[in-house]
Amino acid sequence: MPPDGETLRAWRRSRGWDVPEMARQLRRAAHGSGQQVAAPGGLIRMIYAWERGDHAVSERYGLLYGRVMSGAGEPGRREPQEDGVPRRDFVALAAGVISLLDVLRASPGLPARLSAAVDGRASVDAETAAGLAQVMDGYRRIYQSAGAASLLEPVCGTFSLLGELAPAAGAWRDLLVSLIGQASSLTATMLMLDGNDQAAAARYLTIAARAAQQAGDDELMAIIYAARAFHSAYGGDPLDGLAYARQAVSIASRGDVHPRTRGWVCAVESEMHATTGDETSFRRALDIAEDQLAGPMPDEPWKGIGAFSLAKLTAYRGGGLMRLGRYPDAQAHLTAALGQLDLVHAKHRCTAHVDLAAAFAADRKPDQAAHHSMAALDIIATTGHANSLRRIGRVAGMIGPSGTQASRDLASRYLEVKATS
């Protein structure tokens, strides 16, 4: 008997796949067995219906699910795997490790201790562990203004180095495993938002979740679930995104979790509610996020990526109102956010410009939409960010029929940035 919808949904999530990826896997299995399946769009709709329990899975598709669940796919040589993840994803370039050691030279004696640990002559000590934690904190902060092209390599180098050190880390093993999770979640974010490689991002999010689980790190796990929410929503599965966001909020509500993290996952939940059209829940989640930011903050940094502040929360509010179709209110909040966000928060400012451009375009104000799209493109040209570039392409398409000079200039600039990205 084919598996029921609840089982299918749970299994898909355990693999870190959104519905479009599940559809792709079924089509691969069908190709490998010489079968025909529905077109991609139709198959995606069928999967939604199966998982909701609206329709039972037919015997033919049940057999395809069985092939996917057993790991069978296209015929031919399978790529070597490391714990279910293609080995190529674990390749760390030597230059990445060198970049990491260059950063660590600011801490006296740390490179020598790291070299000894890698060579097996010594275990990780407290100062080494603290230095590695500082490096990962720095990378997470740098992401808000640096492009993936310059940051991905050293982060992957750090990922590889932590993997070598963790088995012999002794009392510091849980910290290093948590740092592996942090490096994985940052890599996933860059692949998802900057590189538009959703499949690779899902694999790194899976690694991050396993690391957080092994380290018993509730804060990191909440952050990963929130990242999963974005991954699902951007992949066309907003209900899955909302489910992940709710779980992130639930995890963050227990244990010793930084209030900034609690606030951020509530803000993510607010965006998911706005995407699904639930304005009441959207506003409630934002109020909870604001309460978390209003209290005292501990000295230790949060484990999130980039920055989260009242200014960024204002941007979340504006972005949500735009998704809910409340364009004048969205324009007011996003304009306020741009006045508050520091220039160093380049990617946060870029997102605010894109949301504001979308709000103006939907409000039939093409010149204002073009102005903020141009501002976003100036940032994208420096930092990258494939997701923002794709959204600007949609704005350019929306305002193109207006025929204004600003819309024509935007179309030209968009193609220029796209061609050189």
CA distance 314 to 302: 20
Whether 208 and 126 share a structural domain? yes
240 located within any domain = yes
pLDDT of residue 88 exceeding 50: no
- As for how many domains the chain has, the answer is 3
Mean pLDDT of 99-104: 38
Give domain status of residue 345, yes or no: no
Looking at residue 258, what is its pLDDT? Answer: 95
87 pLDDT band, cuts 50/70/90, is very low
One domain, residues 103 and 204: yes
**Looking at the domain assignment, is residue 159 inside a domain?**
yes
Domain boundary among 53, 78, 103: 78
- Residue 331 counted as domain residue: no
Roughly what angle, to the nearest 10 degrees, separates helices 148-165 and 110-118?
60
pLDDT of 148 higher than 90: no
Which of 287, 308, 329 is a domain's end point? 308
Calculated CA dihedral for residues 393, 397, 399, 404, nearest 10 degrees: 90
Least Cα distance to 387 among 114, 162, 193, 143 occurs for 193
Give the mean pLDDT of 242-246.
94
Is residue 193's pLDDT more than 60? yes
Q: Are residues 302 and 221 in the same domain?
A: yes
Range name among 117-121, 144-148, 211-215, 219-223 with the lowest pLDDT average? 117-121
- Based on the fold, state whether residues 96 and 62 are members of the same structural domain: no
Mean pLDDT of 187-207: 87
Q: Comparing 32 with 385, which gets the higher pLDDT?
A: 385
Q: Is residue 11 scored above 60 in pLDDT?
A: yes
- The residue segments making up the domain with residue 63 are 5-78
Least confident of 171-180, 272-281, 350-359: 171-180
- CA triplet 227, 232, 238: central angle to 5 degrees? 115
Q: Quick one: DSSP state of residue 305? A: S
DSSP string, 370-420: HHHHHHHHHHHHHH--HHHHHHHHHHHHHHGGG--HHHHHHHHHHHHHHHH
- Position 76 scores a pLDDT of 37
Same domain, 245 and 155: no
Same domain for 165 and 195? yes
> Taking 70 as the threshold, does the pLDDT of residue 23 lie above it?
yes
Q: How far apart are CA 118 and CA 329, in angstroms?
A: 55
3-state secondary structure of 82: strand
Question: How sure is the predictor about 112, in pLDDT bands with cuts at 50, 70 and 90?
Answer: low
Given a cut of 60, whether residue 388 has pLDDT beyond it is: yes
Question: In the chain, what percentage of residues exceed pLDDT 90?
Answer: 47
Smallest CA-to-CA distance from 32 within 71, 4, 59 is with 71
195 plus 230 within the same structural domain = no
My answer on whether 144 and 202 are in the same domain is: yes
**Domain check: are 231 and 297 in the same one?**
yes
Which of 78, 106, 128 corresponds to the end of one domain?
78
Per the model's pLDDT, the better-predicted residue between 104 and 335 turns out to be 335
Q: How confident is the model over 77-99, as a mean pLDDT?
A: 34
- Residue pair 50/57 in contact (Cβ under 8 Å)? The answer is yes
Whether 25 is in a domain gets the answer yes
Q: Which residue has the higher pLDDT, 303 or 164?
A: 303
In this structure, the answer to whether residues 150 and 260 fall within a common structural domain is no
Confidence of residue 34 (pLDDT cuts 50, 70, 90): confident
Residue 237: inside a domain, yes or no? yes
Residue 106: the pLDDT is 41
- Cβ neighbors of 119 (< 8 A, separation 6 or more) are none
Window from 197-211, 357-371, 387-401 with minimum mean pLDDT: 197-211
Count of CB atoms situated within 10 Å of the CB of 361: 25
Q: Cα separation of 308 and 390, whole Å?
A: 24
- pLDDT digits over 322-334, tens only? 999 999 999 999 9
**Do the beta carbons of residue 275 and residue 229 sit within 8 Å?**
no
User: What is the three-class DSSP state of 17?
Assistant: coil
Q: Does 305 have pLDDT greater than 70?
A: yes
Closest to 376 (Cα-Cα) out of 344, 408, 417: 417
Arithmetic mean of pLDDT over the chain: 84
User: Six-digit token pair at 94?
Assistant: 């030597």
Is the pLDDT at 205 greater than 80? The verdict is yes
Whether residue 289 is found in the same domain as residue 207: no
35 and 94 in a single domain? The answer is no
- Greatest CA span in the chain, whole angstroms? 69
Q: Does a structural domain hold residue 194?
A: yes
pLDDT value for 109: 52
* Segment among 94-103, 126-135, 266-275, 384-393 with least mean pLDDT: 94-103
In a domain, 118, yes or no: yes
3-class DSSP state of 179: helix
